[in-house]
Amino acid sequence: MSTVFWFTKDLRLQDNLALNLAIRSAAPAEGASHRVTAVYVVDAGEYADLEGIRQHSLTESLKALNSSLGGRLNVLHSPDASGFGQQLANAATAAGSNRVFATRLFDPQGKKLQLQVGRFLAGLGIHLILEDSQYAVPPGSVAKPDGTPYRVYTPFFKAWCAIGWQAPVSLPDLKIEWRLIPASPGEPVPTKPAPFPVKAGEAFALRTFDRFKKRALNQYDEQRNRADLSGTSHLSHALAFGEIHPRTLLAQLGDSSAHEVYRKEIAWREFYADVLWHNPHTLTEYYEPRFAEMRYDKGELADARLAAWQQGKTGYPMVDAGMRQLLSDGWMHNRVRMIVASFLVKDLHLEWQQGAEWFERHLSDFDPASNTHGWQWTAGCGTDASPYYRIFNPILQGLKFDPNGDYVRKYVPELRHLDGADVHTPWEVIGGYADGYAARVVDHDVERNESLARLEEIKVPITGYREG
């Protein structure tokens, strides 16, 4: 018997429970191979709309997966998501199978897609079998004693740890025949340039994690927030594409403080997935609806300030460095993501959705749950939110997390003539603007007070205050 495996956000062979199930379910005659048709379906319309970095990231990940399958990954193309069911039905017919296996998706778009595909296939007598998830603990599994979901991270983390997760699994030691569909179109060809050659795939993800363990894991608690240091794992892209499973990472962590902080970062990702699972509307809407009533800026001036933020020309060096890193690398340091998000919402008085949409467009590691609820955390309107009155001071943040100015100088060439921490306050240095750096679009102190005044307008009590 043959089976079809539909790859989605699990572009790897190892530690892939759903793939293992598909392989074992292809029960062969004595001594024969387990025949599996591996399929990935490209939404051609969506792919065409992606920025270059995201096009190249997906294509390179698919190339790596195809290589690991000996050139036998069937990459099919659909004009849009509505055609996925037909493409998978065609694959099942070509394989002579009535079963399609896949890893269960939990984000709103993924859930909708798999529901539609499942119904379509069922109408043709083909079963869609979903297994596992891209998380150590599937969203919806962690609950309070009364059965309701957690709104706050810390108790979620404790319950998440208590539930635990299974050990990573290897690809079954069986004779596997990966089958090709005749005239499979192959990986999509990028139509837009990438800023640099993209490296992707399971093998690269595993090497990246090994380097991180040797380089920075044992100092992770002390260095992860430093934008000028390589103190993070750089695995967010691999996790977003499923090139590595969080179980694989968790299995190699010990009990030290640094390892515990890294474990907590993985749990943050799973917490946000759980929140979105229970509240799918929060992908684009406020988790705390009262914040939708806040006064936000609109009009030509607001649009001009949004454009300055998008292009890294706000006049605040730490903000501009982060936004230019996003455009040049398709990635941004997590601490800097919070700094630029706070600036958009609380200095420019723009709604968080505008920032989330820009991140979705440009981040190679885009993840719907982490993106939307990371933004809502900083905006003060999400679950377990940073209180709205925590307003990051972009100058102080720069001095703290880029103390020598190396991060800023890397991404803002107009400030490379300045030494040390002077890059964070070019307006205080003679010749600070000599190379054409942008003037500040707003005064942070003024806008901080304005944000607090607008908070008062929607009657949200302020019980404390902390400048970030």
User: Residue 238: which CATH number?
Assistant: 1.25.40.80
Q: Tokens at residue 25, please?
A: 């379910």
pLDDT category of residue 460 using cuts at 50, 70 and 90: low
User: For helices 352-362 and 334-342, what crossing angle results, to 10°?
Assistant: 140
Cα–Cα distance for residue pair 393/448, rounded to 1 Å: 9
Q: What is the pLDDT of residue 461?
A: 58
Cα–Cα distance for residue pair 15/172, rounded to 1 Å: 10
**CATH number, residue 409:** 1.10.579.10
Is residue 195 included in any domain, yes or no? no
Is residue 188 included in any domain, yes or no? no
For residue range 72-128, list pLDDT tens digits in order.
Answer: 999 999 999 999 999 999 999 999 999 999 999 999 999 999 999 999 999 999 999
Residues 124 and 147 in one domain: no
Residues 460 and 317 in one domain: yes
Over range 272-278, report the average pLDDT. 97
Model pTM score:
0.95
Residues 287 and 403 in one domain: yes
Q: What is the pLDDT of residue 385?
A: 60
Residues 162 and 297 in one domain: no
3-state SS, the chain, equals: CEEEEEECCCCCCCCCHHHHHHHHHCCCCCCCCEEEEEEEEEEHHHHHHCCHHHHHHHHHHHHHHHHHCCCCEEEEEECCHHHHHHHHHHHHHHHCCCEEEEECCCCHHHHHHHHHHHHHHHCCCCEEEEECCCCCCCCCCCCCCCCCCCCCHHHHHHHHHHHCCCCCCCCCCCCEEECCCCCCCCCCCCCCCCCCCCCCCHHHHHHHHHHHHHHCHHHHHHHCCCCCCCCCCCCHHHHHHCCCCHHHHHCCCCCCHHHHHHHHHHHHHHHHHHHHHHCHHHHCCCCCHHHHHCCCCCCHHHHHHHHHHHHCCCCCHHHHHHHHHHHHHCCCCHHHHHHHHHHHHHHCCCCHHHHHHHHHHHCCCCCHHHHHHHHHHHHCCCCCCCCCCEECCHHHHHHHHCCCCHHHHHHCHHHCCCCHHHHHCHHHCCCCCCCCCCCCCCCHHHHHHHHHHHHHHCCCCCCCCEEC
Q: What is the pLDDT of residue 415?
A: 98
Q: What is the pLDDT of residue 27?
A: 83
Over range 256-285, report the average pLDDT. 98
Is residue 20 included in any domain, yes or no? yes
**CATH number, residue 52:** 3.40.50.620
Q: Tokens at residue 341, please?
A: 């998000």
Domain boundary among 235, 257, 278: 278
Residues 442 and 455 in one domain: yes
Residue 462 pLDDT more than 70?
no
Residues 153 and 211 in one domain: yes
| Distances from the Cα of 108 to the Cα of 42, 167, 279, 284, angstroms | 18, 28, 9, 11
**Domain carrying residue 30:** 2-132
Residues 67 and 92 in one domain: yes
Average pLDDT, the chain: 95
Residues 266 and 378 in one domain: no
Residue 463 pLDDT more than 60?
no
Quick check: 51 and 359 in contact, CB under 8 A?
no
Is residue 109 included in any domain, yes or no? yes
pLDDT over 70 for what percent of the chain?
A: 98
Residue 465 pLDDT more than 70?
no
Domain count, the chain: 3
Is residue 186 included in any domain, yes or no? no
For residue range 139-189, list pLDDT tens digits in order.
Answer: 999 999 999 999 999 999 999 999 999 999 999 999 999 999 988 899 999
Quick check: 250 and 136 in contact, CB under 8 A?
yes
Q: What is the pLDDT of residue 277?
A: 97
For residue range 385-433, list pLDDT tens digits in order.
Answer: 667 778 999 999 999 999 999 999 999 999 999 999 999 999 999 999 9
Domain boundary among 246, 261, 278: 278
Quick check: 336 and 322 in contact, CB under 8 A?
yes
